[in-house]
Chains A and B, each alone.
Chain A
Amino acid sequence: AQRVTQPEKLLSVFKGAPVELKCNYSYSGSPELFWYVQYSRQRLQLLLRHISRESIKGFTADLNKGETSFHLKKPFAQEEDSAMYYCALMRTDKLIFGTGTRLQVFP
């Protein structure tokens, strides 16, 4: 089955610490993967997508086909990064989301 797995429900770090939000996928073809973010009292919005190879707000994510992973990383967390993060997989023109990881960044 094609799915996305986010093993951590909650990740807590202190400001300035590195962050890695884990995402693993199961997909038989060439995957298209995304990270979406939802800040408190805001809409869910796209953070980044693997095909763009971009860095947004200091976050990067590399597709590792060997490990079937698309982990989201940031070298130095900021308090404003606290949010709910969802990994998503494009499956025949539909986005399938993982269960989400809540990131808490303490001052």
Chain B
Amino acid sequence: DVKVTQSSRYLVKRTGEKVFLECVQDMDHENMFWYRQDPGLGLRLIYFSYDVKMKEKGDIPEGYSVSREKKERFSLILESASTNQTSMYLCASGSQGQGRFEKLFFGSGTQLSVL
């Protein structure tokens, strides 16, 4: 069974702190994604990566950065947390078949509260 593991289920941080959200997958997937999930707004793509050391901006990258030093790990970084970044963050991974991935596997999410 594919496992996508997010390091924290709940996180509380203060405004201005640097925040790291970690995600690890164990199925050797090339593609990894970070979404945020907000009521009424659905899932919005923040950043994604198709390979080690590679990253691409999603639809809402402002205030975030990412790191992918190893294939199995994809980190989301909030350089200076703000209250409007309070949200549920979902990591996902997927493998590529015939040029596109078949489906995404999601982590259980990190509920981040910025006070």
Contact = CB atoms under 8 A, between A and B. Distances in A.
B100 interface: yes
Given A97-B42, A99-B41, A90 B35 contact: no
Contacts of A6: 42
B110 interface: no
Contact of A49 (B41, B92, B103): B103
B43 A9 contact: no
A34 B104 CA distance: 11
Per CB-CB distance, the 8 closest pairs between chain A and chain B, nearest first, are A99-B42, A97-B43, A44-B106, A46-B103, A43-B106, A100-B42, A97-B42, A43-B108
A9 B35 CA distance: 19
Interface of B: 31, 33, 35, 40-45, 48, 50, 58-59, 90, 92, 96, 99-104, 106-109
Interface of A: 6, 9, 32, 34, 36, 43-46, 49, 86, 90, 93-100
Is chain A's interface secondary structure helix, strand, loop, or mixed overall?
strand
